[in-house]
Amino acid sequence: MTAANQPNPNNTPAPEPSVVTGVQLMQGIGVRPAMGFWADAWSTVIKKPTAIFALAWLGLIAFFAVYAPVLASGHPLWITDNTGNTSSPLWRNLAVLDLVLLLGTTAAILYTALGGPRKHWGVRAARAVGAIIIAVFIVAIAGLVQTYFVGLADEAGRRAQTVFARTGIAPELPTPFVRSPSAPLIIGLSVSLVVSLVAIALPIGSRRARITACILATMLAVWAVNARWVQPLERWDYFVAQQRGTITAATFTAVPWSPLQRESALQRSKPGTQFGPATENPDPASPGYHHSFTLGTDAYGSDVLSQLLHASRLSISIGVVSTGIALLIGVTIGALMGYFGGWVDLLLFRVVEVFMAVPVLFLLIVAVAVVPDELRTTYFIMVIIGCFTWTGMARFTRAEFMKLRNQDFVQAAQATGLPLRSILFRHMLPNGVAPVLVDTSFAIGAAISVEATLSYLGLGPADSASWGKLLSSAINSEGQFKWWLAVFPGLAIFLTVLAYNLLGEALRDAIDPKLKKARV
């Protein structure tokens, strides 16, 4: 009896004969389909344990940067007063940037995860991040415009007081524009229009996707600006109100202490110190009980853990935004040098050499030391770092464009009469941006180190939680060293900079053609 005629006691279906197609015969059976350049590079990056650690740590820092205002705050999530009314002081005291980041990031996560097939996650995430960046730019510029008009109104008020002191007659002043009910809507829409026109003109993605992102970002930003045009003064008297019976119930955040909330009696208190306004050694069950300072307090009596969480936003924003500015300037100048060559390359390279000769850290120290405290903001430091750290990116882009300008696809684009902007940024840049992105990862880590150095020297952004500022308070004027003020912020700086460097090294190895040949 042949094998084909043998009985099948288990009545299992016989396996179907395998069919080998012509494509499989040419490619070989079991050959994986070809992957795109960036997909292949990313699959190589995530195979490295160091890159996985870097992505996990940076993801944790990004989470704290977005959600720190609802994780560590002195304002309760909910309170109930003695009349039974319920309100949310935390929501009422969120700043305009907090609203944009919280709502925008939550919507972006839901859209990326639930908006379609899994293979399009990267495209949806890029669109969502683009919309959030546009919204952040809108609220940042609107805040600067508001500050300018508030300054004009205050100056007019001071002049009126001077006239009244001299003449005894109070001049009638019209209501300042910045304090009119329509001011937030007008300023928000005007800034949104300008930012949207610039975003739509950028050669990134499809025009339809850019228009959609601008519309969504405008809606979110204008609503946030209108909702928080007048920010209430922060007060942290909730525990006293609980003791007096004004508040009958309060639900606090995980860390019930804001970075700007200070208690002078608890300066440089060690980790685990408990604080209660009623007694020196409070009972946790008593209404006056505050909380335990898990990581201790700094030189001003502020909670270290709360400042560590809130400082994540400053470090991420300084690194990403300043590097983004440097990337924009460096890629543009490098593309012009590499594409044209000749006298254009000679002239612009002299400009690059001039900026290379400027010591960035020394320039920042001088700049922030001479400007007033109200101008020493995060945006000011971002612009300074971004405008003087683009030289490496320009040289990388120049070298890549010099190799690409004689390629067939570039000559074909020139022959079809495409504009220079399309040739440079739509056809050449995607083929020569890989080394620039690797340098970008290292530049973000360097920018975080520069900001930490400035804050350590006391020249960082005023009234902003910073890892460098915490590090500077480890030793007081008497020379006493407090280990928790050096270990925790120092570890945060070290791990963040290390994560960016590890990610840059993994990306560099993934796109290196010699290493790619060795892996084949």
pLDDT at residue 520, as a whole number: 53
CA distance 337 to 415: 21
Structural domain spans, the chain = 94-227, 304-519
State residue 31's pLDDT score: 52
pLDDT averaged per 10 residues in sequence order, the chain, 520 residues = 47 48 47 62 84 93 93 90 87 92 93 82 87 92 88 83 77 78 92 92 81 93 92 81 81 88 81 64 46 84 91 89 90 91 91 90 83 74 88 90 88 87 83 82 89 84 84 80 90 93 86 59
pLDDT of residue 26: 47
| Cβ neighbours of residue 312 closer than 8 Å, sequence gap 6 or more | 61, 62, 64, 65, 68, 492
What is the predicted pLDDT for the residue at 347?
93
∠116-119-124 over CA atoms, to 5°? 55
What's residue 17's pLDDT? 47
Which CATH number fits the domain 304-519, given the four candidates 3.40.50.150, 3.30.1490.20, 1.20.1440.230, 1.10.3720.10? 1.10.3720.10
Distance CA 437, CA 459 (A): 30
Question: What's the pLDDT at 286?
Answer: 45
Say what the pLDDT of residue 455 is.
86
CB 355 within 8 A of CB 388: yes
User: At 274, phi and psi to the nearest 5?
Assistant: -105, 150
Contact in structure between 324 and 379 (CB atoms under 8 Å)? no
314 half-sphere exposure, CB direction, 13 A CA radius: 28
Main-chain phi, psi angles of 238, to 5 degrees: -70, -35
Alpha helices in 19-120 (DSSP H): 22-27, 37-45, 49-71, 89-92, 96-114
Q: Residue 298 belongs to what H/E stretch? A: none
In terms of phi and psi (left: phi > 0; alpha: psi -120 to 50; beta: otherwise), the region of 85 is beta
Helix%, strand%, coil% for the chain, nearest 5 = 65, 5, 30
Residue listed under structure tokens 């005007």:
190
In order of 78, 371, 386, 490, the CA distances from 380 in angstroms are 36, 10, 10, 24
